[in-house]
Structure 1
């Protein structure tokens, strides 16, 4: 199933993409595409309904973030061997964990705001893993039972804030609009192998990232198990799992986002995003 949320910001309706490409209203079946709907019981309730029997929604509506009320937005750094190489970083011995503020989450086609004073805003296409069942001290062999599905994430980053301003990475990762997710949350049964998905990102039509989840250092099952040793994972939490090479910081010379540019990005089977950048106007 491809689950989504459509409508104005703060008033999104839960929806499903039907096989004919129409968007169907899940209002009345579930309250939202959130933790409660993403449990095994919630997904079974949705799966029991014929999407073609549901009201059709206007395809021209805004597509919101594919998961609502996200409790934790957990990110993994330097998780692709080829990306670590382009940044001259050693291969991590254990996953690098940091948090993205949930307030950075926006829809897949919403505008991206370059923060005030930023000169090093960067892009990162990433596989998002959506939790559907509480995970606490989970063995790797059982980890996938706790995954509801997957989505595209653009893990935008302000590199100067992240690296040059002291402390942890979080301050360069949680800026408003720095977490587009969607367009859909694709349920786990539709993705045969999350470690074999092609992915790409363009800026103004130039292909910067062209990679595959095959080069992940730590795979999805390992990450779910590993993170659950340090914090419980709850339904609706999202893990964004790292990026392949081709980020702006890795270019020679380095290239960073400017106002008025357009990013397009996609992961095989998970749909496509597009965002236009704007300068902060507050």
Structure 2
């Protein structure tokens, strides 16, 4: 367990070293989050005002709601994949020894718009189907569907790096992602899981500290101190989430490089990545 955590921490530090070199990479997850909020509001506020959510738990729910949900999934996935493509594209330039700009990332993402849209439709279809299945099966069935969802997540882990780096369609990109994963790491996803663990612990620890600070601020009875503390805690919390998203993108780019070239790129230790993703005996 200690060895796994040690690998996780080293991988986080390697990703962070790349992020420190290009702090502008944080712009992509920030813009992605903002656009996702706008998309959600543009779909669900009119739907709520139009009464589409009325009776959604009943068999006679408005069928337009399901159409709306699918379209929402497609648009939301498109936004997420677009900005993730820009992030990973820029990260790949850095891993190749270049000095990427935000414009470089957007240029790469724009060049892949048809593939991004196609993959968004595939991801939305899978997401809607899995959600529909979960709503219609019992507890055991939900666990099985959850396992299927996890398998899909693992199989599609390198789809965006593949789309960014190769001139292929979304279906072939999913197949290629699964091939690279099986070929290189087997079942051990310590890297991305490690980043999740490290930031999960960091967010949990900060939630405890931030909650304590907010309680102290409220107990002071001074409104200005209370508001300032709450705003500061929220900003730090959001910053942690943005950093995690950026690190995940950098790491995905490094893993793709390692899978295809045997070298994770500038800032990553080749032996560390190979050991972290070796197939269990």
Question: RCO greater where, 1 or 2, for CA within 8 Å and sep 6 or more?
Answer: 2
Question: Is the TM-score greater than 0.5?
Answer: no
TM-score norm. by structure 1 comes to: 0.29
Query: Which structure shows the higher strand fraction?
Result: 1
TM-score norm. by structure 2 comes to: 0.29
